[in-house]
Amino acid sequence: MKKKRLRANGLLILMGIFLAVVGCSKSSSSSNDPIINNSVKTTGSLAVSTLTSSAGGAYAPNNVVAIWVESNSGTFVKSLLVYAATRKYDLTNWTSNSSSNTTDAITGATQSSHAVRTCTWNGTNTSGTVVGDGVYKVCMELTDKEGTGNFSSFTFTKGTTVDTQTPSNASSFSNISIVWTPQ
């Protein structure tokens, strides 16, 4: 009886250690999103371009703007462009989704006028790892207010074929071009 109890306790301890190790490895992963972790990972480049315009705020024409990539389910992947040195907190969607992560992004100060904003994405996350193929979103946010401004998102497919998108104009964003080109 003592041997059975010792064996049972030993198994419980080993199971506990196994679950702790498995739990730790899952929590250290950058994402549990199945699209991002897809085993098919095509390399390539996404080119994004848009003309910005006022959100109708008191600071116009001064504005802060961010463009970033998320999985289709909303998991943050990477910031591409963030012009908002001291007013990042007014980009409420970008801040809450990215935790203000600007790894490898084009960054700069608050913009004093509107213009065409361009940026690229090399298909990687903030760790530099190529993410899985699938449907992603380019997210754009701009404000010239003391707080939340205009936000829009546009889907595209990262994969083995070229995907060219020219979405309809959205508040603060026009002449939008989104082109995924695989290598």
Poorest-confidence range of 7-11, 140-144, 162-166, 169-173?
Answer: 7-11
* pLDDT tens readout for residues 143-168: 999 999 999 999 999 999 999 999 99
Is the full-model pTM beyond 0.75?
Answer: yes
Query: Please, what sign has the CA dihedral across residues 14, 16, 20, 22?
Result: positive
Report pLDDT for 86.
Answer: 84
Distances (CA, A) of 180 to 37, 87, 151: 19, 30, 21
**Peptide bond preceding 61 in cis form (omega within 30 of 0):** yes
* pLDDT tens readout for residues 41-76: 999 999 999 999 999 999 999 999 999 999 999 999
Q: How far apart are the C-alpha atoms of 120 and 35, rounded to whole Å?
A: 20
11: tokens are 């198994």
Q: How far apart are the C-alpha atoms of 170 and 167, rounded to whole Å?
A: 8
Distances (CA, A) of 128 to 43, 124, 148, 170: 12, 5, 30, 31
Assign 38 a pLDDT band (cuts: 50, 70, 90): confident
112: tokens are 């004093």
More confident residue, 17 or 60: 60
Which residue in 127, 73, 121, 68 sits closest to 94, CA to CA? Answer: 68
Domain boundary assignment for the chain: 1-30, 44-182
* pLDDT tens readout for residues 79-127: 999 999 889 999 999 999 999 999 999 999 999 999 999 999 999 999 9
More confident residue, 109 or 33: 109
Which strands, in side-by-side order, build the sheet including 150-158? 106-108, 76-83, 64-71, 134-143, 150-158
